Structure 1
Amino acid sequence: MTDQELKEFILRHETDSTAELMLHRDRWPSIDMQVAVRCIQGRAKARNKLPLWYAEPGLLYPQSLSLEQCSSQSTALYKQRFVREGDRAADLTGGLGVDTWSLAHAAASVDYFERSEELCACARHNFHILGRDNITVHTSEISREMLQGIPSGSYSLIYLDPARRNKGGGRVYSLKDCEPDITVLRHELLRIAPRILLKASPMADISVLLSQLPEASEVHILSSDNECKEVLILMLRNNSLPAEEIPIVAAELQSGDNSGEGTEEFHFTLREEREAATDMAAPSEINGFLFEPSPALLKSGAFKLPSVRFGLKKISASTHFYIGHAPVELFPGKFRRILEVLPFHKAAIRDFRKKYPACSVTARNFPMTSEELRRRLGTSESDTFRVLATTASDNSRVLIVSAAMPHVSRRISC
């Protein structure tokens, strides 16, 4: 089977049932059907996650787990901002190679390390097809002994995305439970390179990460498609910034964006958040516009600063939604026009379905889940209207009904 035969087969059959292809594989004796099916399945997942990879039908895809765990195109491209001109970089946890490929666009050279021979073979093939000939592939497992064999200063930037699954296949979130354990290897890594870029679990606690990594100098939290995707930590060899002074960037990325830039970025420090004083909206002041922070901003822990910077009021101390009397285009998140505010009692619930038979339902800081509330209200799903069930600053329960604003393409930084 030649590469050209495989490519033509994939393009001809990528919408076919892979189960049927495997069942009738005898029809195509020259095709390695397992490889072809894996590529067809991989391309289906890459279509939205990695559109630039999907555009190249000659790429190989190994086991599905590596594609599920790899960075998306937008988060991979974002990492290019950490690369300086002339950098010699190393990706010590290569995997499918998406981050390596992205770093290689900006770095002079990148060394890709991966312990799986299958992944290395696929990566070597794919890097060549993608025109990234400044990448060298190494089949190697990262360990203290392996790192000790690398001369000091061999690289200017090292990137790691430690495996976040235990031996039983379960997910782990603590750095100490990931493999490799960077809390143990960080001194050895910083001997080899003055800058370390670490990808941590989006579930990890930011304050815990900073306490475990005293060399941390920046934190970047990335979200897209209404979900927090990645937490990135830049470590510097001789960093002396206290945790409260470390710059934190909450960036909302546009899926499929080839620039790698955040469409909405919010920059702050933990000290600024701690010292911020915010006003709470009285129930009678809940009108005008409802502002919802991006997932990255929520993950960052900047709950008070948005109201200070944008002149908004919080609904309550524990409800991280904001109220304003006019649209704020620079706000890092979404905003909707408030239609009405209803008290949460039997009469309002009884009449709600008549007025809003279809709406999106969200419960925050409320004694019911969103699904429980949906069943209680008896509504079907729709994005035209949205009801936020929450607790106001006077501890009363309210239903805030809002309507979507026209979409505006934004690229902002604040």
Structure 2
Amino acid sequence: MTLAAGLRAQGVDPGLAAAAMTQSRLRAKGREKFGEFAAGMLFTQAGLEQATRLVVAARHAQRYVGAGVTHVADLTCGLGGDAMAFAGSGLRVLATDVDEPTAALATVNLRHQPEAVVRHGDGLALDLAAEGVDGVFADPARRTRSGSRVFDPRAYAPPLDAVWALRDQVPAVGIKVGPGISHNGLPQDAEAQWVSVDGDVVEAGLWFGPLAPDGPGRCALVLRTVREDDGAGQTVARTVAQSVRQDAGSPEVVPDAGGVGAYLYEPDGAVVRAGLVAHAALALGGRLVDRTIAYVTTDSPAPVGPNGLGAGLATGYRVLDVMPFGLKRLRAYLRERDVGRLTIKKRGTAVVPEQLRKQLDLKGSQEGTIVLTRVGGAQQVIVVEPLTGR
């Protein structure tokens, strides 16, 4: 408010001052996705919400480089996040957007990338052969003009069917879609990959032809930021990646299910969205607490390291107690242990954590964590503590 008032006092047009303040706010928020690059970019609220995080866009670019693609058409470039990663990887980029102001902002954001050309227009109308394009990328709009989310792929802009039909012209086609997309109806020749960053499921991607070198299937990619000492007293951050995959046509993994053991593991959201919880259970050497619930339990700590789940495919907890769900029983249990700050996790139950926390009315000085879920079809409370360092 002080800055806005100061701009107006200096005679800056109120509309211009408001626009500058909006960009200042969006740039601060944009650092979550673009890091220090956000300071030199222009944004819209909707464009920033749909923009690909730079760490994920770099993974997109790696696919095209690895496939031998040299010229990518970004058919729905938005603010240019993915195009920045493509150009930064040495690819030529033809970026288009049907919205003229958005294309103008993308032009500004890509001004330092001579390999990238931005055009205002319909990317689907491009003559890909005449442009010399050998790779296609699209991130269809998944929000209405009012800002509400669109979940039906046929209502994307452009429709999903129209985009993946382009693989008849250019085999190397990649499409970013919402992580909530249904498995039903996805093309049989695609690798569908769900991606999470530091625990947040941020996107799903459909990859065709040479962009899917391992062939069709379902995959979960988990990216986590690890901060380490560089040996000179400085803390540096690096990204650790781990994935799990189900090849198309291969037999589905059927995990065991049984009672709660000494440890409980919560698979990452990307693993759950990709339908690969059974694979996580197998890698953990455990079993499901219920065949309909995405919690894995083991009798001993799961392996951690290059061949285990150390990069974060699942979050681990030590089990302290298990009891049937009941408000009075749970309240007495927690008060007896002087718990006042309670983390409530849930799957497969209608209990609302905020309401339960009020009903428990805890006043203690200790912290606690409980998991509300079904075990063998029965509602149970699992009292746990996080496995720090795992």
What TM-score range do you get, normalising by the shorter chain?
Answer: 0.7 to 0.9
Partner of 2:326: 345
**Percent sequence identity over aligned pairs:** 19
Partner of 2:233: none
Change (3 A) 1:127 1:237: closer
Partner of 2:230: none
Partner of 1:326: 301
Alpha-carbon shift at residue 375 of structure 1 (Å): 3.1
Alpha-carbon shift at residue 322 of structure 1 (Å): 0.8
2:284–2:302: 8 Å Cα contact kept in structure 1? no
Pick one of 50, 64, 75 that aligns with 1:69: 50
Are 1:38 and 2:22 an aligned pair?
yes
User: Counterpart of 1:340 in 2: which secondary structure?
Assistant: strand
Alpha-carbon shift at residue 80 of structure 1 (Å): 2.0
Are 1:226 and 2:196 an aligned pair?
no
Change (3 A) 1:39 1:346: closer
User: Counterpart of 1:306 in 2: which secondary structure?
Assistant: helix
Q: How is 1:1-400 mapped onto 2 (pairs within 5 angstroms)? A: 17=1, 20-29=2-11, 32-54=16-38, 57=39, 59-84=40-65, 85=68, 87-128=70-111, 131-143=112-124, 146-147=125-126, 149-151=127-129, 154-187=132-165, 189-208=166-185, 210=186, 213-216=187-190, 218-236=191-209, 246-254=216-224, 263-269=241-247, 271-272=249-250, 275-282=252-259, 286-324=260-298, 325-329=300-304, 330-331=308-309, 332-345=313-326, 348-354=329-335, 355=337, 356-379=339-362, 385-393=368-376, 395-400=377-382
2:79–2:109: 8 Å Cα contact kept in structure 1? no
2: distance between equivalents of 1:335 and 1:35?
46
1: distance between equivalents of 2:269 and 2:342?
21
Alpha-carbon shift at residue 316 of structure 1 (Å): 0.9
- TM-score normalised by L of structure 2: 0.84
Alpha-carbon shift at residue 382 of structure 1 (Å): 11
Alpha-carbon shift at residue 268 of structure 1 (Å): 1.9
2: distance between equivalents of 1:83 and 1:271?
25
2:225–2:237: 8 Å Cα contact kept in structure 1? no
RMSD value, Cα: 3.1
2:42–2:108: 8 Å Cα contact kept in structure 1? no
Higher relative contact order (CA 8 A, sep 6+): 1
Farther-moved stretch of structure 1 (221-230 vs 115-124): 115-124
Aligned length: 368
Gaps of 5+ in 2: 228-235
Change (3 A) 1:270 1:235: closer
Amino acid at match of 2:253: A
Amino acid at match of 1:173: F
Alpha-carbon shift at residue 64 of structure 1 (Å): 2.0
Change (3 A) 1:271 1:288: farther
1: distance between equivalents of 2:71 and 2:163?
20
1:384–1:403: 8 Å Cα contact kept in structure 2? no
Amino acid at match of 2:371: L
2:340–2:366: 8 Å Cα contact kept in structure 1? no
Alpha-carbon shift at residue 383 of structure 1 (Å): 11
Gaps of 5+ in 1: 1-16, 409-414
Amino acid at match of 1:296: A
1:120–1:137: 8 Å Cα contact kept in structure 2? yes
1: distance between equivalents of 2:244 and 2:130?
36
Amino acid at match of 1:326: P
1:86–1:107: 8 Å Cα contact kept in structure 2? no
- TM-score normalised by L of structure 1: 0.79
